Amino acid sequence: MFSQKVVQQSMRRLAVQQPFAMRSSMMGASPVAIALGKNIQTRHQVTSAPNTEDPSQLLVKQRLQRPVAPHLTIYKPQIGWIGSSLHRISGVALSGSLYLWATAYLVAPTLGWHLESASMVAAMGALPLVAKVLLKTTLALPFTYHAMNGIRHLMWDLGRGLTNPVIIKTGWTVIGLSVASAVGLALI
């Protein structure tokens, strides 16, 4: 009971002497510290010299000190990731060329272009044999590669051929078969 009276009197005395200190000092200071007036906290601010340097130059210096991530050129080329990249590239090339051809075929009558079958056959017939074979091979290679590598991916989905030696063998097999079949299609 006596300690409660001491605290109550200390609080009243503090409220009368320093009314502004009541709100901030009540947060965490003990009644004894409040009664003795040792509840005021001071913080010293450390200042640094103002930076007169250009902010963009500061950013350039900071970027030079960042660690550099390894670039693709440090990795040894392997048939697995090369084949995967070529599969995606051939898929984009095939779908992109299909969309471009379909759009051109639809707008051809309004622009006065002749993209009907008879004019395409006449244009191909006018080319020399070497140009025909090269053009047909260029058009057939993405299709044959994407089709054969797609079968390889389907085998992987079944859980077959997922060891490194098999992946290497099937990768080179797909490349060889797709080149041979593209040339075969070009010679038809």
Quick: pLDDT tens for 104-132. Answer: 999 999 999 999 999 999 999 999 999 99
Q: Which pLDDT score, from 0 to 100, does residue 20 have?
A: 59
**Can you tell me which residue has the tokens 């503090």?**
14
What pTM, to 2 d.p., does this model score? 0.62
DSSP string, 9-44: HHHHHHHHH-TTHHHHHTTT--HHHHHHT------P
- Closest Cα to residue 152, out of 95, 67, 86, 98? 86
Token readout for 111 is: 């622009």
Q: Are 179 and 148 in contact (CB under 8 A)?
A: no
Distance from C-alpha of 14 to C-alpha of 186, rounded to nearest angstrom: 100
DSSP string, 123-144: HHHTS-HHHHHHHHHHHHHHHH
CA torsion sign for 22, 25, 30, 33 is negative
In tens digits, the chain (188 residues) has pLDDT values of 677 888 888 877 777 776 555 555 455 667 777 777 776 666 677 676 666 677 788 888 888 888 777 777 788 899 999 999 999 999 999 999 999 999 999 999 999 999 999 999 999 999 999 999 999 999 999 999 999 999 999 999 999 999 999 999 999 999 999 999 999 999 98
What residue spans in the chain does CATH classification 1.20.1300.10 cover?
Answer: 78-186
End-to-end C-alpha distance for the chain, whole angstroms: 110
Q: Are 173 and 149 in contact (CB under 8 A)?
A: no
- Does the domain spanning 78-186 belong to CATH 3.40.30.10? no
